[in-house]
A = this chain, B = another copy of it.
């Protein structure tokens, strides 16, 4: 019997997945939760064979959670499958770094998900077809730590002076970071830079 925990914040999808997985004779859904914190608690207490994790969840996202599971000595045999809407290279990279066993898009059929669960139990790794392509086309995030930070703040609508107050930098420095971020992302304005960075999953 494959024991599974489902962490997905969208109730309709979570309920539907749980309902359908219950029809599989070899699968048992031991818990279904809607946020990262609750997921972490139930994973520790239940020690499931497989965790299905959404990325965007309250309190703790699926990638951070995957990282925590991988570095916990008691959870070495627990397989991790990320299930997400987003085909962002940045997300995929983080998932690979966290050594997840599967990375599926919500745009896959459920049968593929079920099949994938059985595969990761056997020690195989699974990845959505669409994503296998982005793996090869993968672009490294060209932004430095500070550039990323500054751009993230710019995204939330802060002006240069507000950003420099936030990070205890001078205006000039912040403008320099934004300038180089804009150039690295081949954009012309901060807005465009923000758009591409979001789209690539870099901020």
- Describe A's contact surface by its main secondary structure: helix
Q: Which residues of B contact A113 (CB under 8 A)?
A: 12
Is A110 within 8 A of B157, CB to CB?
no
Is A109 within 8 A of B11, CB to CB?
yes
Stretch from A39-47, A134-142, A188-196 forming part of the interface with B? A188-196
Q: Could you tell me the distance between the alpha carbons of A188 and B108 in the complex, rounded to whole angstroms?
A: 42
Q: Which residues of B contact A188 (CB under 8 A)?
A: 157, 159
Q: A7 to chain B: closest CB distance in Å?
A: 15
* A19-B20, A20-B19, A20-B20 known; A106-B12 Cβ under 8 A: yes
Q: Could you tell me the distance between the alpha carbons of A155 and B155 in the complex, rounded to whole angstroms?
A: 11
Q: A198 to chain B: closest CB distance in Å?
A: 11
Task: Quickly give the copy total for this chain.
Answer: 2
* A10-B85, A157-B187, A187-B157 known; A110-B16 Cβ under 8 A: yes
Is A107 within 8 A of B12, CB to CB?
yes
Q: Flag whether A57 is at the interface (Cβ < 8 A).
A: no
Q: A41 to chain B: closest CB distance in Å?
A: 21
Count residues on chain A whose CB falls below 8 Å from chain B CBs. Answer: 32
In the A-B complex, the 3 residue pairs with the smallest Cβ-Cβ separation, listed nearest first, are A16-B16, A157-B192, A157-B191
Q: Which residues of B contact A85 (CB under 8 A)?
A: 10
Q: Which residues of B contact A155 (CB under 8 A)?
A: 191
Determine which of B10, B110, B191 lies in contact with A191 in the assembled complex, contact meaning CB atoms within 8 Å: B191
